[in-house]
Amino acid sequence: MPSRTARPVLAAVTAGAAVALGLTGCASAPDPGTVTVLNSATDTAEHTKNQKFFDRCARPLGLRVEQLSVPADQVSSKALRMASSHSLPDILELDGSELPQFALTGGLRPLDDLGVDTSGFSRSAVSLGSYQGTRYGVARSANSLALYYNPDLLAKAGVEPPRTWAELRTAARELTRDGTYGLAFSATPDADGVYQFLPFFWSSGGDEARLGDGGGAKALGLWKQLVADRSVSKAVVNWNQQDVNDQFVAGRAAMMINGPWQVPVLDAQKKTRWAVATIPVPEAGGTAVAPIGGTVMTVPKSDTPEREKNAAKILDCLNTPRNQLAWGKATNNVPTRTTAARSYAEQSPKLAPFTELVATARSRTARVGTRWPAVGDALAGAFQSVLTGRSSPEAALRRAQQQASTGK
């Protein structure tokens, strides 16, 4: 009997030791010839496409690239967990709007320190990858939002693609038929809806750093009128950008606001023809200010300088004008180097409006930096309360201002 009681102790001790060993053992030392990447390419086709470009760049350097892909909304939390266990990848691909929060931690290497070639990029792309004037990330390509329209429905109604807000309202009203709305956009209270609201907000002089000064009230007014005219469904407060595209493809919306990532879906169907025009502006002769979106590749600081250098080499190679152009065409996104963007516009005339918009587009974080998530939430609250009739545009923006400033 006595000898038996000793056993559980031993078992408990060994089990505890095994757990402790297991916990410390999980940060495996990466192989020096391998460059690791954390990105959001969970879709098989996208993952393969990425791997092809990585391999093309890594092979001549005698390196291997290993991608770890998690869903887009989990990249930042995954990266933070990896940071706390000192196991960050060599290349961290973040959404542009998340860059400031990571740059602020001091855990990212400024690209100039690594000698990454950052010349010849469009101003908007530079701003997407920068925080407080320092370049931390490179975007290979970028996207924005434009006005898609169904040429058949427009021709039937005798309507030209609208260029101003007044024309947009008239066109949307004339295109609205039984079962078809003139226009569809996303107004969900998340990143989708906020992204879609920005081209209207900014084009009418809205300022995300001072929401309350009334610049964007006209944009809220326009959205409200479009819904009140019944040219836009009240259900847009529930439609994400995918839903909006579904409505357009099903012929239930004659025009929509959407991004170039919908092109594969639009091309895969035969039912609805489509064309792209630039975002309408408040007054004739004005300039459309659309948001720039997309991911940026960053280099987390590493204990081994060699790893950072290898990552830098891969970044340089991925961003040669040739590779950028090929990547842009493969993803329907606009290359961020001005020369590559020019060739892209020539080779994909159908998406030309995106090329123009991206060149002058504005980054969400350029003015408010790490406060963007709070500002975005506040903006979402504003358009949702206006669209559901809870608030006037002016009052909604005043409240948003309050929210954004208390939300740190």
Partner 1 sequence: MNHLTRRPALLRWLFIAPALVYMAAFFGYPLVRNLLMSFQHYTPTTYFTGEAPFNGLDNWRAVLADPLFTDALWHTALFTAGSLLGQFTIGLALAVFFSRRFRLAGPIRAVLLLPWLVPMVVSAVVWRRILDQEHGVLNTFLRGLGLSDGGVPWLSSPSVALLSAVLVNIWIGIPFNMVILYGGLQEIPRELYEAAALDGARPWRAFRSITLPMLRPVITVVLVLGFMSTVKILDLILALTAGGPADATQTLGTVTYQLSFLRLDFGQGAVVGTVLILVSAVFAVLYLRANRADFGKGK
Binding site for partner 1 (CB under 8 A): 2, 5, 8-9, 12, 16, 73, 76-77, 80-81, 83-84, 101-102, 104-107, 188-190, 233-238, 252, 373-374, 377, 380-381, 384-385, 387-388, 390-391, 403, 406-408
Residue closer to partner 1 by CB (options 119, 406) is: 406
Q: Cβ of residue 299: shortest distance to partner 1, in angstroms?
A: 14
Residue closer to partner 1 by CB (options 208, 316) is: 208
Q: Cβ of residue 369: shortest distance to partner 1, in angstroms?
A: 13
The CA-atom distances, in angstroms, between 72 and each of 76, 94, 142, 330, 342 are: 8, 9, 16, 19, 29
Residue closer to partner 1 by CB (options 276, 387) is: 387
Contact (CB, 8 A) for 397 and 218: no
Residue closer to partner 1 by CB (options 42, 238) is: 238
Q: Is 185 exposed, middle or buried (0-12, 13-18, 19+ CB in 10 A)?
A: buried
Residue closer to partner 1 by CB (options 23, 209) is: 23
Dihedral sign of CA atoms 69, 71, 72, 75 in order = negative
Residue closer to partner 1 by CB (options 249, 276) is: 249
Q: Cβ of residue 341: shortest distance to partner 1, in angstroms?
A: 31
Q: Cβ of residue 141: shortest distance to partner 1, in angstroms?
A: 25
Q: Cβ of residue 178: shortest distance to partner 1, in angstroms?
A: 12
Separation of first and last alpha carbons in the chain? 64
Q: Cβ of residue 388: shortest distance to partner 1, in angstroms?
A: 5
Q: Cβ of residue 192: shortest distance to partner 1, in angstroms?
A: 9
What is the separation of C-alpha 150 from the centre of its chain, rounded to a whole number of angstroms?
Answer: 25
Dihedral sign of CA atoms 145, 146, 152, 158 in order = positive
Separation between Cα atoms, residue 83 and residue 79, nearest integer Å: 6
Phi, psi of 356 (to 5 degrees): -65, -45
Q: Cβ of residue 108: shortest distance to partner 1, in angstroms?
A: 9
Q: State how beta strands 181-184 and 253-258 pair.
A: parallel
Sheet containing 64-69, strands listed edge to edge, beginning at the edge strand earlier in sequence:
64-69, 34-39, 91-95, 295-298, 137-138
Residue closer to partner 1 by CB (options 54, 181) is: 181
Contacting residues for 112 by C-beta, under 8 A, at least 6 apart: 118, 134, 135
Contacting residues for 301 by C-beta, under 8 A, at least 6 apart: 106, 107, 108, 109, 308
Residue closer to partner 1 by CB (options 359, 380) is: 380
The secondary structure of residue 290, as a DSSP letter, is P
Contact (CB, 8 A) for 332 and 351: yes
Q: Cβ of residue 386: shortest distance to partner 1, in angstroms?
A: 9
Separation between Cα atoms, residue 301 and residue 132, nearest integer Å: 18
Residue closer to partner 1 by CB (options 35, 75) is: 75
